[in-house]
Amino acid sequence: MSIMQHINKRQLWFLIIVSGLFIGGRYLQQPASEKSAASKSVDELDAALLADLQTRQFQIEEQAACVMECNGIAASQLTALMQPENIDYSQCDFGNCHYTSYSIAGQLDNGVPVRFVVETGDGGDIIRAVEIDAACNC
């Protein structure tokens, strides 16, 4: 008895298609070494984007300007913190970590910790949500 007597043509085509998809998926699956190389390229992309951002003029959100003025923080101090090692990925908007928004956390020259968000897009480059531990009435 041949296998063709027990399987109709639809079942055979289904088996061929599913097998092809499975084999193709296994073939296209990246090894772990290539995945680490991809994450390295993301770090390089972040470094290039942040270096470009450091050269731009920023608009500063009203609340952020108040916090900066209250604590004597210059915009140049914040732009100096725009380095890949200061990106706070835990605070990134889902799916927007490398496109138009960066959450930055670091220490100013005087050792004071600061957190802020840099947004880029059609509305310009904006520094917003500056957070510092010192008390201000903003």
Domains with residue ranges and CATH for the chain: 32-132 (3.30.2310)
pTM of the model: 0.61
CA distance 56 to 51: 10
Judged against a pLDDT cut of 60, whether residue 96 lies above it is answered with no
pLDDT at residue 7 in the model: 72
Q: Across the chain, what does the average pLDDT equal?
A: 78
Per DSSP, 87 falls in state B
Cβ-in-10-Å burial (0-12, 13-18, 19+) of 87 comes to buried
- The single-letter DSSP state of residue 23 is H
Contact 126, 119 (CB under 8 A): yes
pLDDT at residue number 45: 78
Helices and strands counted in the chain (H then E):
4, 4
pLDDT computed for residue 98 by the predictor: 57
pLDDT tier at 40, thresholds 50, 70, 90 = low
